[in-house]
Structure 1
Amino acid sequence: MPESKSRKKPAYTPPPKSAEAKPNPAWYVPTFLTLLIVGLVWVVVTYISQSNYPVPGIGNFNLAIGFAFILVGFVMTMRWR
């Protein structure tokens, strides 16, 4: 029985190592934690005050501001190393 030809190159070649990811600066973690907490407090205060506070006169846009804080904090967590 004839033998099959051997492969000319290895089955797997790992990709070349790129520059290692640099660690985040010291202010990064406290910043995103603060944004998450401020956003949560903003939304809770808005619900408790029936949309009158933290910024009077804008109504339910207070919820949008609170969720924006939370969203920015969450996006920062995805870049955390």
Structure 2
Amino acid sequence: MPKSRGRAKRTSTPPPELGPKPVAVSPTWWAPVMVGLMLIGLLWVVIFYITAEQYPIPALGRWNLGIGFALMLAGFGMTTRWR
């Protein structure tokens, strides 16, 4: 039986040496905006309850809660990207 020819082996090259990755730093405005959104959302909800649903925007009614929680969630969402 005839013998098949073998494949030519490729020479392996080692991967390039990688140095330590530079640490990404958040912009200086990131943390104040993050904390500000969480505090504004909290104040929005607290004012809504303290004033017996009259403020901050009376025409929105209970949607004021949604606005307050959306502001807080936006702030908490920013915490996941903070470096």
Query: What stretches of structure 1 of length at least 5 have no aligned partner?
Result: 1-15
Runs of 4+ more than 3 Å apart = 16-21
Q: Which position in structure 2 is the counterpart of 1:23?
A: 25
1:38-73 per-position Cα deviation (integer Å, ceiling 9, x unaligned): 000000000111221101111100000000000000
What TM-score results when the alignment is normalised by the length of structure 1? 0.74
Where structure 2 has 5 or more consecutive residues not aligned to the other structure, the ranges are 1-17
SS in 2 for 1:57: helix
Aligned-partner residue type, residue 32 of structure 1: M
Given candidates 28, 50, 53, the residue that maps to 1:51 is 53
- Among 24, 36, 42, the alignment partner of 1:34 is 36
What amino acid sits opposite 1:60 in the alignment?
R
Question: What is residue 62 of structure 1 aligned with on the other side?
Answer: 64
Distance 1:63 1:17 in 2: 49
